Structure 1
Amino acid sequence: MHKPLATLAAIALFGQVATAEETDAATDHPYVGMWVTEDGRIRHELLPNGRYVEARGTRERAYEGRYEVTRNYIEYWDDTGFTADGDFIDGVLHHAGMILYRR
């Protein structure tokens, strides 16, 4: 069964197929941007395409992978295979025992 060409306006993303509508939703979510620990050592950049880059100290790309946000809950899948999660509470990201603030 073939879908209309407009429906096939999908892009390959994270090993899955996301429609343009789903991609727009990811782009518009309120948590996209930079999240940083108080001392600046850990930095999570949540990119609008559902990918993240984590910097640690002087290592700018210590970890990279994909993420999904459901309401105030975030799940991470690192490209090396490990997973993690966190919660956004009152505008603060609580992740793996760390607290990250919006920059």
Structure 2
Amino acid sequence: MNNNKSYIGMWVTGDGYIRQELLPNGRYDEARGKRQSAYTGSYTIEGDHIEYIDDTGFTASGDFKDDILYHGGYIFYREK
């Protein structure tokens, strides 16, 4: 992970169904609906691009733009 800690924290879809927390240790924890820790794994950030590696080996990526995270066809907003 790079030294840019500005993306650490909770990111949530507009309807609140998916909640993804980017932890400062390079791990993430994603909840879906009532299912806590539905997906967990590690992430790295280079500039405004994020790469995920799920604990099961699944990989995904996303991009931050104007304090919005675009990932997997979803739009995530920083939780205030």
Give the TM bin, normalised by the shorter chain: over 0.9
Partner residue of 1:36 out of 1, 12, 17: 12
Q: Distance in 2 between matches of 1:83 and 1:43?
A: 18
Indicate the residue corresponding to 1:101 in structure 2. 77
Question: Which consecutive unaligned segments of at least 5 residues does structure 2 have?
Answer: none
Which has a greater percent of strand? 2
Partner residue of 2:47 out of 43, 46, 71: 71
**What is the count of residue pairs matched by the alignment?**
79
Partner residue of 1:92 out of 68, 73, 79: 68
Matching of residue 56 in structure 1 with residue 32 in structure 2: yes
Residue identity in the other structure for 2:75: I
Which has a greater percent of helix? 1
Q: Distance in 2 between matches of 1:79 and 1:58?
A: 20
Offset of residue 48 of structure 1: 0.2
Question: Which consecutive unaligned segments of at least 5 residues does structure 1 have?
Answer: 1-21
The runs of at least 4 consecutive aligned structure 1 residues that moved more than 2 Å come to none
| Greater gyration radius | 1
Offset of residue 87 of structure 1: 0.2
CA RMSD of aligned residues (A): 1.4
Q: Distance in 2 between matches of 1:70 and 1:94?
A: 15
- State the secondary structure of the residue aligned to 1:29: coil
Offset of residue 81 of structure 1: 0.8
Q: Percent identity?
A: 59
Q: Distance in 2 between matches of 1:36 and 1:57?
A: 11
